[in-house]
Amino acid sequence: MQFQKDDIREKILAAAGETFLTQGFGKASMREIAKKAGISTSNMYNYFKSKEELFYAIADPVFHHLANLRKEVFEYKANKDFNNENFMQQFTEFVPKVMFEMIRKYRKEFLLIMDCSKGTKYEQLKKMMATAMETNFTDNIISKKKKSLLQDSCLMHILAMNLIEGILEITRNYKNDEWAKNNIESLMKYHIRGMVQFFT
Protein backbone atom coordinates (compact mmCIF):
# COMPACT_ATOMS: atom_id res chain seq x y z
CA MET A 1 0.00 0.00 0.00
CA GLN A 2 2.93 2.34 0.44
CA PHE A 3 3.36 2.30 -3.31
CA GLN A 4 0.26 4.35 -3.85
CA LYS A 5 0.84 7.38 -5.95
CA ASP A 6 0.26 10.50 -3.97
CA ASP A 7 -0.97 12.51 -6.91
CA ILE A 8 -3.73 10.02 -7.61
CA ARG A 9 -4.65 9.94 -3.96
CA GLU A 10 -4.93 13.71 -4.02
CA LYS A 11 -7.00 13.64 -7.18
CA ILE A 12 -9.41 11.21 -5.60
CA LEU A 13 -9.68 13.27 -2.44
CA ALA A 14 -10.30 16.43 -4.43
CA ALA A 15 -12.93 14.79 -6.60
CA ALA A 16 -14.57 13.19 -3.59
CA GLY A 17 -14.63 16.46 -1.67
CA GLU A 18 -16.32 18.22 -4.52
CA THR A 19 -18.83 15.47 -5.03
CA PHE A 20 -19.73 14.89 -1.38
CA LEU A 21 -20.14 18.62 -1.03
CA THR A 22 -22.69 18.97 -3.78
CA GLN A 23 -24.50 15.63 -3.49
CA GLY A 24 -24.10 14.73 0.14
CA PHE A 25 -22.53 11.48 1.26
CA GLY A 26 -25.58 9.38 0.49
CA LYS A 27 -26.24 10.57 -3.02
CA ALA A 28 -22.62 10.88 -4.11
CA SER A 29 -21.57 7.99 -6.29
CA MET A 30 -18.18 6.33 -6.47
CA ARG A 31 -18.48 6.32 -10.22
CA GLU A 32 -18.84 10.06 -10.44
CA ILE A 33 -15.93 10.59 -8.10
CA ALA A 34 -13.77 8.23 -10.13
CA LYS A 35 -14.70 9.96 -13.35
CA LYS A 36 -13.87 13.35 -11.86
CA ALA A 37 -10.56 11.99 -10.61
CA GLY A 38 -9.82 10.54 -14.01
CA ILE A 39 -9.29 6.98 -12.83
CA SER A 40 -11.25 3.77 -12.82
CA THR A 41 -13.81 3.13 -10.15
CA SER A 42 -12.10 -0.05 -9.09
CA ASN A 43 -8.76 1.65 -8.67
CA MET A 44 -10.26 3.86 -6.00
CA TYR A 45 -10.56 0.80 -3.85
CA ASN A 46 -6.81 0.45 -3.88
CA TYR A 47 -6.63 3.78 -2.09
CA PHE A 48 -9.75 3.74 0.07
CA LYS A 49 -11.48 0.57 0.94
CA SER A 50 -15.02 1.92 0.92
CA LYS A 51 -17.06 4.98 0.24
CA GLU A 52 -17.24 5.61 3.95
CA GLU A 53 -13.51 5.41 4.41
CA LEU A 54 -13.01 7.81 1.58
CA PHE A 55 -15.32 10.19 3.34
CA TYR A 56 -13.46 9.82 6.59
CA ALA A 57 -10.14 10.42 4.90
CA ILE A 58 -11.45 13.89 4.24
CA ALA A 59 -13.53 14.41 7.32
CA ASP A 60 -11.37 12.94 10.06
CA PRO A 61 -8.74 15.71 10.04
CA VAL A 62 -11.33 18.41 10.66
CA PHE A 63 -12.92 16.27 13.25
CA HIS A 64 -9.69 15.94 15.18
CA HIS A 65 -8.98 19.59 14.72
CA LEU A 66 -12.38 20.41 16.14
CA ALA A 67 -11.83 18.02 19.02
CA ASN A 68 -8.55 19.75 19.81
CA LEU A 69 -10.18 23.14 19.64
CA ARG A 70 -12.60 21.97 22.23
CA LYS A 71 -9.78 21.00 24.52
CA GLU A 72 -8.05 24.31 23.95
CA VAL A 73 -11.15 26.20 24.86
CA PHE A 74 -11.45 24.24 28.05
CA GLU A 75 -7.84 24.84 28.88
CA TYR A 76 -8.24 28.53 28.21
CA LYS A 77 -11.06 28.46 30.66
CA ALA A 78 -9.09 26.49 33.23
CA ASN A 79 -6.08 28.72 33.04
CA LYS A 80 -7.99 31.88 33.78
CA ASP A 81 -9.76 32.80 36.89
CA PHE A 82 -12.94 32.46 34.97
CA ASN A 83 -15.67 35.00 35.13
CA ASN A 84 -18.14 36.70 32.86
CA GLU A 85 -15.60 39.19 31.76
CA ASN A 86 -13.00 36.89 30.38
CA PHE A 87 -15.72 34.65 29.05
CA MET A 88 -16.66 37.46 26.76
CA GLN A 89 -13.06 37.99 25.98
CA GLN A 90 -12.76 34.34 25.08
CA PHE A 91 -15.65 34.50 22.71
CA THR A 92 -14.72 37.77 21.11
CA GLU A 93 -11.02 37.20 20.80
CA PHE A 94 -9.88 33.65 21.28
CA VAL A 95 -12.73 31.75 19.67
CA PRO A 96 -12.93 33.92 16.54
CA LYS A 97 -9.23 33.50 16.09
CA VAL A 98 -9.21 29.73 16.25
CA MET A 99 -12.35 29.53 14.18
CA PHE A 100 -10.76 31.64 11.51
CA GLU A 101 -7.71 29.46 11.49
CA MET A 102 -9.83 26.36 11.30
CA ILE A 103 -11.76 27.67 8.32
CA ARG A 104 -8.61 28.78 6.66
CA LYS A 105 -7.21 25.31 6.88
CA TYR A 106 -10.31 23.18 6.48
CA ARG A 107 -12.83 25.15 4.51
CA LYS A 108 -14.32 22.40 2.38
CA GLU A 109 -13.79 19.74 5.01
CA PHE A 110 -15.67 21.71 7.63
CA LEU A 111 -18.67 22.11 5.37
CA LEU A 112 -18.44 18.45 4.54
CA ILE A 113 -18.49 17.17 8.06
CA MET A 114 -21.23 19.51 9.16
CA ASP A 115 -23.57 19.52 6.21
CA CYS A 116 -22.93 16.48 4.07
CA SER A 117 -22.30 13.71 6.55
CA LYS A 118 -25.73 12.11 6.73
CA GLY A 119 -25.14 8.38 6.55
CA THR A 120 -21.75 8.56 8.26
CA LYS A 121 -20.68 8.48 11.88
CA TYR A 122 -20.48 12.28 11.90
CA GLU A 123 -24.17 12.64 11.18
CA GLN A 124 -24.80 14.06 14.62
CA LEU A 125 -21.71 16.20 14.98
CA LYS A 126 -23.39 19.55 14.42
CA LYS A 127 -26.03 18.78 16.96
CA MET A 128 -23.42 17.60 19.46
CA MET A 129 -21.33 20.69 19.01
CA ALA A 130 -24.35 22.86 19.50
CA THR A 131 -25.23 21.03 22.68
CA ALA A 132 -21.70 21.44 24.03
CA MET A 133 -21.74 25.13 23.22
CA GLU A 134 -25.15 25.49 24.75
CA THR A 135 -23.92 24.03 28.03
CA ASN A 136 -20.98 26.34 27.93
CA PHE A 137 -23.20 29.36 27.43
CA THR A 138 -25.74 28.37 30.01
CA ASP A 139 -23.09 27.77 32.61
CA ASN A 140 -21.16 30.93 32.02
CA ILE A 141 -23.41 33.68 30.82
CA ILE A 142 -26.69 33.38 32.48
CA SER A 143 -27.29 34.96 35.83
CA LYS A 144 -29.16 32.90 38.36
CA LYS A 145 -32.05 35.25 38.31
CA LYS A 146 -32.54 34.83 34.61
CA LYS A 147 -32.07 31.11 34.61
CA SER A 148 -35.66 30.53 35.48
CA LEU A 149 -36.48 32.56 32.43
CA LEU A 150 -34.89 29.86 30.36
CA GLN A 151 -36.74 27.03 32.02
CA ASP A 152 -37.86 24.77 29.24
CA SER A 153 -36.65 27.23 26.66
CA CYS A 154 -34.47 26.10 23.84
CA LEU A 155 -33.29 29.59 23.02
CA MET A 156 -29.80 28.88 24.23
CA HIS A 157 -29.70 25.80 22.08
CA ILE A 158 -30.83 27.82 19.12
CA LEU A 159 -28.26 30.49 19.67
CA ALA A 160 -25.53 27.91 19.83
CA MET A 161 -26.88 26.40 16.64
CA ASN A 162 -27.03 29.85 15.09
CA LEU A 163 -23.42 30.46 15.86
CA ILE A 164 -22.44 27.29 14.14
CA GLU A 165 -24.69 27.91 11.17
CA GLY A 166 -23.30 31.40 10.96
CA ILE A 167 -19.76 30.09 10.78
CA LEU A 168 -20.92 27.64 8.15
CA GLU A 169 -22.51 30.38 6.08
CA ILE A 170 -19.33 32.41 6.25
CA THR A 171 -17.41 29.35 5.19
CA ARG A 172 -19.79 28.78 2.31
CA ASN A 173 -19.44 32.33 1.01
CA TYR A 174 -15.77 32.71 1.84
CA LYS A 175 -14.12 35.47 -0.17
CA ASN A 176 -10.75 36.08 1.42
CA ASP A 177 -9.08 35.88 4.78
CA GLU A 178 -9.79 39.46 5.75
CA TRP A 179 -13.43 39.08 4.85
CA ALA A 180 -13.78 35.86 6.77
CA LYS A 181 -12.02 37.21 9.84
CA ASN A 182 -14.23 40.28 9.99
CA ASN A 183 -17.42 38.36 9.51
CA ILE A 184 -16.56 35.81 12.15
CA GLU A 185 -15.72 38.55 14.61
CA SER A 186 -18.91 40.44 13.90
CA LEU A 187 -20.95 37.30 14.22
CA MET A 188 -19.41 36.30 17.54
CA LYS A 189 -19.67 39.81 18.87
CA TYR A 190 -23.26 40.03 17.81
CA HIS A 191 -24.26 36.84 19.53
CA ILE A 192 -22.20 37.19 22.66
CA ARG A 193 -23.27 40.75 23.22
CA GLY A 194 -26.84 39.72 22.54
CA MET A 195 -26.71 36.91 25.04
CA VAL A 196 -25.16 39.04 27.70
CA GLN A 197 -27.76 41.75 27.40
CA PHE A 198 -30.54 39.24 27.19
CA PHE A 199 -29.62 36.98 30.02
CA THR A 200 -27.70 38.86 32.66
Partner DNA sequence: CATGAATGAGTCTTCATTCAT
Partner DNA sequence: TATGAATGAAGACTCATTCAT
Contact residues toward a second copy (CB under 8 A) are 23-24, 26-27, 118-119, 152-155, 157-159, 161-162, 165-166, 169-170, 173, 175, 179, 182-183, 186-187, 190-191, 193-194, 197-198
Q: Which is nearer to DNA, 27 or 105 (CB)?
A: 27
66 binds DNA, rule: CB under 7 A: no
Q: How many residues bind DNA (CB under 7 A)?
A: 24
**Which residue number, 40 or 83, has a Cβ lying nearer to a second copy?**
40
Shortest spacing between CB 2 and a second copy, in angstroms: 16
* Region for 151 from its dihedrals, namely left if φ exceeds 0, alpha if ψ lies in -120 to 50, beta otherwise: beta
CB of residue 172 vs a second copy: minimum separation in angstroms? 9
d(CA 29, CA 123): 18
Contact 64, 137 (CB under 8 A): no
User: Is residue 40 within the footprint of DNA (CB under 7 A)?
Assistant: yes
CB of 109 to a second copy, least distance (A): 20
Q: Greatest CA span in the chain, whole angstroms?
A: 64
Q: Which residues of 65-90 are buried (b: 16+ CB within 10 A; e: fewer)?
A: bbeebeeebeebbeeeeeeeebbbeb
Q: What is the dihedral of CA 135, 160, 191, 92, to 10 degrees?
A: 70
Query: In terms of CB distance, is 5 or 118 closer to a second copy?
Result: 118
Q: Is 57 in the site for DNA (CB under 7 A)?
A: no
> Of these partners, a second copy, DNA, none, which one is at the site of residue 51 (CB under 5 to 8 Å by kind)?
DNA
Note the helical H segments in 116-154. 125-140, 144-150
Q: Nearer to a second copy by C-beta: 60 or 185?
A: 185
- Of 49 and 64, nearer to a second copy (C-beta) is 49
Q: What is the end-to-end Cα distance of the chain in Å, rounded? A: 58
